[in-house]
Amino acid sequence: MPQFSYRARNAQGGLVEGVLNVADRSVAIRQIEQLQCIPIRIVAVAATPEVVVGKSPSSAKAAPGPLSKNLKIPHSQLLVFTEQLGHLLQAGMTLDESLGVLEKRLKQPRVQQMTHTLHQALIDGRSFSQALRDFPRVFSPLYVNMVGAGEASGALPEILTRVVGHLMQEKNLRDRVQQALIYPAFLAFAGSALIIIFITFMVPQLTGFMSQTGGVLPLPTRILLETNHLIVGYWWLFVLLVVAGSVGFRAFVRSDEGRLNWDHFRLRIPGYGGIKRHQYYAQFSRTLGTLMENGIPLLKALDLVTEIAANKYLESKLRDVRRAVIDGANLSSALAAEKLFPELFTDMMAVGEQTGHFARTMQTIADVYERELDRTVQIISALIPPVIIVFIAIIVGFVVYSILSAVFEMTHSLQFRPH
């Protein structure tokens, strides 16, 4: 009977090696999984030279050079990598074989080199989750810890499927917000450009002719001309003020207190703050529920959702919540005491804690606030265009009134001018 040497990871993350006498490699994979281990590499002992099952000789090409720790790939590429890795593992391939296949299949150079580096780390004896930590700008702490939980539980394919679902929901949420704000942003930019062009180029040509007729220009026309004078003659001052303000703002937000105050202020901006709050409610509940479903302890899960907050004010509040949980408080009561989330959120969470279906309840809460986010975005995106149009209409109306008042004044002076 053929012999297959194998390398696998047990539930404690340790490296396990051995030899199995089985009919074929599929039986070897099933036996390794029955031992609550994740097969990393399976090699036919009789093969000479040693060939990894599932690898073709063409894969023995020159390895790409080492990657920088600052490597970053698009979110869509990360989604493809995770989804295909999960599919290969579910099809019965080992982790070593799956990474080898992806190294050849994924043609994007950065993704291909990253996959090669992960594959090599696995061959060198490191766990997959440890190798992922070498790319902090690609794999978030949430991603790494979920993979680690999958390695420990022996259910890595199922965990990767859940990670794919989480990444897709995160991407859809971000895309919905961005798409809803594209039209208002374009409208604001186009309107501002139109007003500047009108005041800077068209108004001087019209009022220049009128001023040659003599007489005193009306007040609105003089205000318009002074505005044009400021824009044309002192544009460099405006640029200097913008640069100075930008530098000062960056210095302010670099300090801990400044960043804390700014992040708190952002959450209270009308419209924008509501979107950010509802977005975080949905992200917090979805992430926490996913982590708890995958066996991550509550305190560790709180650490992870704190790291992905991307808001110093929220992070400081969540650290206070974590300390309260350590002292014996329920998570729902600790959140309610900080007044960080709405009462509906904490009440639903309390029900999940009492019924023992916490993870499922958090996913339900995420659905609620994602719908609320969609509604808020739709309302705000519907209100912004009329507001911008009214603002532009007021400016253009003032410009037109200024010109017409000058025309009327010129007509009046011509009527009473002696021949």
Report domain extents, the chain.
3-53, 60-139, 179-419
42/53 Cα distance (integer angstroms)? 7
Which pLDDT score, from 0 to 100, does residue 413 have? 65
pLDDT band at 351 (very low <50, low <70, confident <90, very high): very high
The strand pair at 38-44 and 15-21 is best described as unpaired
What CA–CA distance (Å, rounded) separates 342 from 6? Answer: 52
Give the separation between CA 272 and CA 263, rounded to whole angstroms. Answer: 12
213 in Cβ contact with 221 (< 8 Å): no
Res. 130: pLDDT tops 80: yes
* Comparison of pLDDT for 200 and 91, the residue scoring more: 91
pLDDT tops 70 at residue 415 = no
Mean predicted confidence (pLDDT) in 305-311: 78
Question: Kindly report the CA angle at 284 between 148 and 352, in degrees rounded to 5?
Answer: 90
Tell whether pTM > 0.75.
Answer: no
Domains 60-139 and 179-419 share a fold: yes
Q: Alpha-carbon distance 370 to 378, whole Å?
A: 12
Residue 122, pLDDT above cutoff 70:
yes
- Strand 3-9: give its sheet, edge to edge: 15-21, 3-9, 38-44
Chain centre to alpha carbon of residue 234:
39
Asked whether the predicted pLDDT for residue 55 surpasses 80, the reply is no
Q: Is the pLDDT of residue 57 over 70?
A: no
What CATH code would you report for 60-139? 1.20.81.30
Q: Report the helix count and the strand count for the chain, using DSSP H and E.
A: 17, 3
CB count in 10 Å sphere of residue 314: 20
Q: What integer pLDDT is reported at residue 283 of this predicted model?
A: 80
Q: Hey, which of 208-222, 235-249, 293-307 has the most confident mean pLDDT?
A: 235-249
> Do residues 59 and 140 lie in contact, with contact meaning Cβ atoms separated by under 8 Å?
no
- Over 70: is that where the pLDDT of 52 sits? no
The pLDDT of residue 201 is above 80: no
d(CA 29, CA 42): 8
Q: How far is CA 273 from CA 144, 276, 373, in A?
A: 30, 5, 11
Dihedral angle of Cα 339, 342, 345, 348, to the nearest 10 degrees: 90
**Residue 5: beta bridge partners?**
19, 43
Distance between terminal CA atoms of the chain?
A: 122
CATH number 3.30.470.20 is the correct assignment for the domain at 179-419: no
Mean pLDDT of the chain: 79
pLDDT for position 265: 92
- Give the Å distances, CA to CA, from 154 to 8, 82, 88, 290: 10, 17, 15, 17
Residue 65 has a pLDDT of 43
Quickly state the pLDDT bin for 349 (edges 50, 70, 90).
very high
Residue 248 has pLDDT above 90, yes or no: yes
